Structure 1
């Protein structure tokens, strides 16, 4: 069995930035909801784009911020190795025009629908683990 090794904050953010897709976890009608999205990491913020009609964007608009988790990983099932990173923090709409323009240019959504919102997720709590191959 392969050992599971904890990763430091900086390494977690490096790994998170190295992959284009993750999953945002939020509350929808008092239950957990998970959506795959593409992202970028900008310092201590995970940035995603969203449609105004999504539950996550609606919650951020209504409350000003909503606590979410964001997870990404890279796992090789054949070698039984890889890593996983989870960021937990407040998600809020990014309203600064300069940042909006930069993120809208840098993140091209994979979903074929208008993505009018840019959401920043604060990296308040960052945890990660490396699964090292036993062989």
Structure 2
């Protein structure tokens, strides 16, 4: 009986290659609220409490006029300033060409990054021992 990758209350995002979301900002926001609700329900909170909190988040978002698309784009661009484009692409389910283009637009400095398994050493390479230069 091993871990199957499912965590109670965790939100899941299923992306399929070649299929575009019709309203990505709205659908991502809805998925976020669903995950938020599931986390609270996993803590055995009453459904009415969870619904009240969901409604509060929706009302606050509408009140402050958060442009979901702009906020999402700004968040991705900020991540590209902090991490290499291939890492952001893998983490968020974007195509690496999209994140590379966005990185170039934002002026990110991660222009050289070797994607792949960095947990193993190249053949014939050995780390320096203490005291070596």
TM-score using structure 2 length: 0.20
* Structure 1 or 2: more helix by fraction: 2
| Greater fraction of residues in strand | 1
